[in-house]
Chain A
Amino acid sequence: MSLIELTAVTRTVLIPDADPLTILDGVSLRVEPGERVSIVGRSGSGKSTLLNLLGMLDLPTTGELSFEGESVPAMKPGRRDRVRGSNVGFIFQQFNLLDGRTALENVTMPLLYARGPRFWGRERIAADILDRVGLGHRLSALPGSLSGGEQQRVAIARALVRQPKLILADEPTGALDVETGQSVMTLLDEIVREENAALVTITHDPAIAARSDRHFRLDRGVLTVAEGAARNAGRADEPVTDGPVADDAVAVL
């Protein structure tokens, strides 16, 4: 069973005094457990909108969205929130750490919405994973006192602290320099592999995209398979958009 599956998904928004804006148009995508998927596309092509759907933060206007075979729009809102909390971890471009909270408190936060041993043992679990991302000595540091790379490592720890099946990273290296970006991605890859989680990465950077198993391109709301991405890896000067486009976007391996 697929982890998450979009079938012919359209997402339109109503804009006052104008025609409805179609952000996503007939998008089909299947993500299998443990798989690593990358999506590239220009600014405004609908990447974040797609990621919000994958993370069950948003619902399709038309088409079907299911998580582990269960229809997401059919879930009650509370259940959808809980399914998201225990199965999905987000990593944002701007880190989105909570201001004024220590690294430990930030990583503990998702566990506040867990139950049982994870809830009661939240501080220890959070400290362990911060140690795993190499920040065991900065537990009580506030985000403002951490470097960009360190902040993103806190964000990675936060995304993984509930051992989700799906990690969604929206331009995780966008705010980092190339070198830091690469090392953060290496760390993310390692942990994702250890946890056997699926990873969907949105990026502008072909080198980052090349780390994935499957590659997609989003162009004005239309998702296509980007076969050439792997070959183009490391060649940031050559646009990935040159790769051949598959007619069937549901590219199940």
Chain B
Amino acid sequence: MGGFLAGVVGACAEAWQEVRIHKGRVLLSLIGVAVAVCALSGAVAMSAIAQQATIEQADSAGGRAATLTMSMQPSDSTATGRQQATQAWFDVLDRYEISYASRVFWGSSRVQFPDSVQEAGMTVVDQPYGEMHRTRMVEGSWFQPGDSARLAPVVVINTPFWESLGSPDLATHPTVTIDGLGGAKAVIIGVYGTSSWDTWPSMFMLTGHFESLLDPVQAAGSMPQYEMWVPPDLARELQTRIQAELSGAVGAQGFVSVDRSDWGAQMDDPTTILRVITMVIGGIILLLGALSLVNIALVTVRQRIREIGIRRSFGATSGRVFFAVMMESVVATVVAGIVGVILAVLLVQSPMVSELVSFGGISDVPPFPASAAVFGLVVATVVGALAGLIPAIIAVRVKVIDAIRY
């Protein structure tokens, strides 16, 4: 099909020449298309980023799909009773082969900072917690599986905490003195990122270390929360079973409740409305851009009737004229589309906008979603083809003998 290739290459060459010659007119229409494509792909990208941010926040608060959260209060509230209840939970984990599970205990403790002693948040968890909540590390790392066997307690602190300590290099094994835990010195092994509005210093500590440091009297307080990350399709069944099995373990006066807490996955896509609105606005801009493009293309094609007649008299078939005129629009809008996508990338990646769309929830900007870029280019091509359709039909209808009469 050498003839076909020559035809396609020829039509593109023709279209490119045309765009080059009418660059003034074309440029005008292209600005509209570029702006529209920028708006559309920017909207898609921003919505994707916002969605990602929302999911990240939901996950870090409620756990990933599907997370079962259990509260348990045994009848026997002594240390032994609590230990038995916890053991019953461990048995359940073994039986159902749930490897991602963590106790979670929220509290706070006084900590020595360089200039003062302050109350800092403390969340006591088991090692899998980080994975279950997608805890985002900015320095060092999350707890390793063997860490609770370490003699010296280790902690993972948040960015405000780290900054209050003067951002020490983790390679130097900096420590922090926790007054609330009998002045224990804990080694900082990691720093996790927080929302920009969350400025309270807080830290994570492993349950094992916490219990060994805790004064037994203090320890008589409340029970932790128990979290399990399970396959979503088994969540309902496991929920009922675990509830039933542990009800037996806590005794008659005890209390167990197992619930799904991963509200991020449960609720409807929180960005749907945002996305619909941005798409509608982008669509309107695109429609206006496309209309102006059609308008300019129509004016152009009318001015070119003589030229089309000349080309036809030198052997251009009507199919070829149709394709070439349509390609002019497509070549032009694809170029505009590329410009629009680049603009959208620059815009979305600009600190101000990314702060806005992520609600301050993600401090490092995720890369511009490829899907948004592809979407923008596809839209540009389709708009070019549609806008080129009407002038192409007019071009084909040109009567050669009338066009070359003078």
**Residues of A in contact with B (beta carbons under 8 Å apart):** 48, 52, 55, 57-58, 77-78, 81-82, 84-86, 89-90, 92-94, 96, 98-101, 105, 109-110, 112-116, 119-120, 158, 162
Contact = CB atoms under 8 A, between A and B. Distances in A.
B310 interface: yes
B320 A113 contact: yes
Most buried by B among A85, A112, A119: A112
A114 B21 CA distance: 23
8 cross-chain pairs, A with B, having the tightest CB-CB distances, nearest first: A85-B315, A113-B315, A110-B314, A81-B317, A119-B6, A100-B21, A112-B10, A115-B3
Given A81-B317, A113-B315, A113-B316, A52 B401 contact: yes
B315 A82 contact: yes
B17 A105 contact: yes
Nearest to A168: B313
Contacts of A93: 406
A120 B2 CA distance: 11
Interface residues of B, number: 28
10 contacts: A57-B312, A81-B317, A96-B306, A105-B17, A109-B311, A113-B315, A113-B317, A119-B6, A119-B10, A158-B314
Nearest to B316: A113
A96 B317 CA distance: 19
B400 interface: yes
B214 to A, nearest CB: 84
Given A57-B401, A93-B406, A78 B319 contact: yes
Nearest to A113: B315
Interface string B304-338: 00110011111111111000000000000000000
A80 to B, nearest CB: 9
B355 interface: no
A115 B7 CA distance: 8
B103 to A, nearest CB: 74
A57 B310 CA distance: 11
A44 B228 CA distance: 95
Contacts of B7: 115
Interface string B374-406: 000000000000000000000000001100111
A117 B314 CA distance: 18
Given A93-B406, A96-B404, A116-B6, A81 B312 contact: yes
Interface string B1-19: 0110011011001100100
B31 to A, nearest CB: 22
Interface SS majority for chain B: helix
Nearest to A158: B314
Contacts of A113: 10, 311, 314-317, 320
Of listed A77, A99, A113, residue having the most chain B CB within 10 A: A113
A81 B310 contact: no
A85 B405 CA distance: 19
Contacts of B404: 57, 92, 96
Nearest to A92: B404
Contacts of A55: 313
Contacts of A96: 306, 310, 404, 406
A48 B306 CA distance: 16
B315 A81 contact: yes
Interface in B18-39: 21
Interface string B186-217: 00000000000000000000000000000000
Contacts of B405: 48
Nearest to A49: B401
Nearest to A105: B17
Contact of B401 (A58, A112, A114, A115): A58
Contacts of B320: 81, 113
Contacts of B307: 98-99
Interface in B253-283: none
Given A58-B401, A92-B404, A113-B311, 11 more contacts: A57-B312, A57-B400, A85-B315, A85-B316, A94-B406, A96-B406, A100-B21, A109-B314, A112-B14, A120-B6, A162-B315
B6 A57 contact: no
A116 B9 CA distance: 12
Contact of B318 (A58, A77, A84): A77
A82 B317 contact: yes
B281 to A, nearest CB: 38
